[in-house]
Amino acid sequence: MITKSVFGNAIFSDKISVALGNVQFPEGPTNLYQPIRYILSLAGKRIRPQLVLLGADLFGDTPIDEVVPASVAIEYFHNFTLIHDDIMDKAPLRRGQETVHQKWNDDIAILSGDALLIKAYEQLAQCPAIVVPSLLKTFNKVALEVCEGQQMDMDFETREHVSKEEYVNMIRLKTSVLLGGALEMGAIIAGASNQERSKLYRFGENLGIAFQLQDDILDAFGDPATFGKQIGGDIIVNKKTILHILLKQELDVADFALFTTILEMPASKSESKIQQMKELYQKYAVLDKANALKEAYTRRAYASLDEIEVENRRKEDLFSLADHLMNRAR
Amino acid sequence: MITKSVFGNAIFSDKISVALGNVQFPEGPTNLYQPIRYILSLAGKRIRPQLVLLGADLFGDTPIDEVVPASVAIEYFHNFTLIHDDIMDKAPLRRGQETVHQKWNDDIAILSGDALLIKAYEQLAQCPAIVVPSLLKTFNKVALEVCEGQQMDMDFETREHVSKEEYVNMIRLKTSVLLGGALEMGAIIAGASNQERSKLYRFGENLGIAFQLQDDILDAFGDPATFGKQIGGDIIVNKKTILHILLKQELDVADFALFTTILEMPASKSESKIQQMKELYQKYAVLDKANALKEAYTRRAYASLDEIEVENRRKEDLFSLADHLMNRAR
């Protein structure tokens, strides 16, 4: 069962749900295909496949059926990364349900993830033959960068120091390039020029960075009623978020000692840990700095979309989606 | 460092070594690309990339540089499966050296395997654009079947009963379709017709099955001086090989009890375990039956190559390679 999403353009959302629901996986081996059906049934917002359709729509009236397979490919790829990342992160839950490696085991999660990645390429191969080589190049580039980002994320966990630039580059690779790539693939199918494709890619890439920075900010400063996760979760596990990194580079000697003490506080004192860390964030105006950085990337994203030479009415859906993601009113 | 192979056509072998040696991987993240360089440096026989070049060569004089990227893609894919299979099999050694998950860790092996699979597609994308969609379809089909075969292999380990047909299908998927697919991809690039492509694919597929059956046979009955592994290794770990399966389906009640007793013998009695199991194999003429099955697939393979409508001199390299793999004199 594919749960219907109402995120983004409603017509596109329906198309994606139908397309995802229509793909038949072989019955067996059960341990290979059942985990794939399972992860795809834990419907997320389906934002990435939307981006492919919106990217194509921006440049004209390409028949939607020529775009849908690339849109499904991107959603498959995203779910492949979730299966494998969850193994590496030892995550027990995904979208409120058991992760694949938890429900089955690591071996099955490795192999069904592999199969889902190949299934993504199978979808790509169903796009019009004339655009397949170009789609393949963009998809490969982005897919490899996502792997690089995931490796950096893991490397950063055990590293003493991570700079702001390194951190932004990591989130760019791990999450943002896929948003840019999804949009660009839509543009490729619609026959956009290289220049327009690049502008659209940069819109997605910068918006993705801004969104990820916002996620870091909300984890500490979000509204508990709407955030959906425990406020301060990142602080409890000493995650090197943008707030953590911006704070660390500003601390004076005395506060650095305090910072180190806070990092070493045990799980039993998490309330106090969160509070003390947030006091340091306030003292060093870290929230303002993080918000400024987020705004800079948001502006770059919007500017890039502005520059694309198509009628403004065609950009409405993408601006709305960006507003929605960045909690902006226009 | 890529060790030069002298397997198959020497000119092609050189081309493959040079091509594999020429591909540059990014410096970082080190933990993503170093394992890839490592696995590729443990040079195997490079039989699969040879098959791509031989498959193209069969149908005319396609410029070799148009074929090499597909040949590298197949070698990358094969090495991707080795990295991930070794995690699942908890194998400490590969080609006499530490496996990737052993030398680094499971997480790094998962992710560098993923990256290598994507790198394989990157190579595919470098083939002439006109054949990319067709190559992609063949590659995806075979790649997915390899995953299915690996899952079946794992499933069979814990299953009570595996039939001869199920076993042959598993080895077909796990190892043989990739040989067929490698040849077929060469044929696609050379512009062969669908019919000729299929014949060449079936040659590779059947030869692969025969080779795998031979591997099972040699594990118990090979010459210790030339086999390279311990004779009887499969018997010690109760592996459901073709010999095991053919024996089990013939046993009378008394010998079935003996068979079960042998399976339960501990590692400390492995000499005796191997001897007793081989006595059962002899009593039920299992070696003859397995050889007959191997011969049937070998004949099918050769017949399929015979049927291809090109000059016989063009088939020489493939017949030689098949003879070499099957230890045949002609």
Mutate to test the interface with B, among A136, A141, A185 (most CBs of B within 10 A): A136
Q: Distance from CA of residue B320 to its chain's centroid?
A: 18
Structure-block tokens of residue A145: 């960068």
ipTM, two decimals, is 0.95
Residue A156: the pLDDT is 97
State which amino acid sits at residue B283.
K
Alpha helices in chain A, H assignment, sequence order: 10-22, 30-41, 47-57, 64-88, 100-103, 106-124, 132-158, 164-171, 177-189, 194-221, 224-227, 233-236, 242-248, 253-263, 270-283, 286-307, 312-325
Give the tokens for residue B168.
């042959």
DSSP H helices, chain B, are 10-22, 30-41, 47-57, 64-88, 100-103, 106-124, 132-158, 164-171, 177-189, 194-221, 224-227, 233-236, 242-248, 253-263, 270-283, 286-307, 316-325
User: Closest Cα to residue A301, out of A172, A178, A201, A173?
Assistant: A201
Cis geometry, peptide bond prior to residue A29 (ω within 30 degrees of 0): yes
Is some CB atom of chain A closer than 8 A to the CB atom of B151?
A: yes
Cα–Cα distance, A179 to A75 (Å, whole number) = 11
Q: How far apart are CA B17 and CA B49, in angstroms?
A: 10
Does any CB of chain A come closer than 8 Å to the CB of residue B105?
A: no
Q: Are A315 and A305 in contact (CB under 8 A)?
A: yes
Cβ contact, residue pair A136, B119, below 8 Å: no
Closest-CA distance, A239 to chain B, in angstroms, reads 19
Tokens at residue A242, please?
């943008």
Residue A222, SS3?
coil
Query: A111–B155: do the CB atoms touch at under 8 Å?
Result: no
Buried b (16+ CB within 10 A) or exposed e, B47-59: bbbbbbbbbbbbb
Q: Does B144 touch chain A (CB under 8 A)?
A: yes
User: Alpha-carbon distance A64 to A46, whole Å?
Assistant: 17
pLDDT in tens, A308-324: 999 999 999 999 999 99
Q: What is the mean pLDDT of residues A251-279?
A: 96
The verdict on a CB contact (< 8 Å) between A124 and B132 is: no
Chain A: closest CA distance from residue B286 (Å): 29
Using CA atoms, how far residue A176 sits from A22, A263, B92, in Å, is 28, 29, 37
Q: Which residues, listed in sequence order, are joined to residue A93 by a DSSP beta bridge?
A: A98
Q: What is the pLDDT along chain B (330 residues), one digit of tens a residue?
A: 333 345 678 899 999 999 999 888 998 899 999 999 999 999 788 999 999 999 999 999 999 999 999 999 999 999 999 999 999 999 999 988 999 999 999 999 999 999 999 999 999 999 999 999 999 999 999 999 999 999 999 999 999 999 999 999 999 999 999 999 999 999 999 999 999 999 999 999 999 999 999 999 999 999 888 877 789 999 999 999 999 999 999 999 999 999 999 999 998 999 999 999 999 999 999 999 999 999 999 999 999 999 999 999 999 999 999 999 998 765
Average pLDDT over residues A169-194: 98
Report the half-sphere exposure of B306 (CA within 13 A, side-chain side). Answer: 6
- Produce one character per residue of A126-143: b if its CB has 16 or more CB atoms within 10 Å, e if not: bbbeebbbbbbbbbbbbb
What pLDDT is attached to residue B4? 38
In this structure, what DSSP letter does residue B172 have?
I
Interface A–B counts its CB contacts (< 8 A) at 116
- Choose among A29, A124, A129: nearest Cβ to B152: A29
Residue A71 C-alpha, separation from nearest chain B C-alpha, in angstroms: 17
What are the residues whose beta carbons fall under 8 Å from the beta carbon of A190, sequence distance 6 or more? A55, A56, A57, A58, A59, A60, A62, A67
pLDDT score for B53: 97
Task: Find the residue in A nearest to B112 (Cα).
Answer: A147
Query: Tens digits of per-residue pLDDT, A200-240?
Result: 999 999 999 999 999 999 999 998 888 777 899 999 999 99
A93: helix, strand or coil:
strand
Angstrom distances, CA of residue A235 to CA of A50, B80, B275: 33, 37, 62
Rg, chain A, Cα only: 21
- ω into residue A69 within 30 of 0, thus cis? no
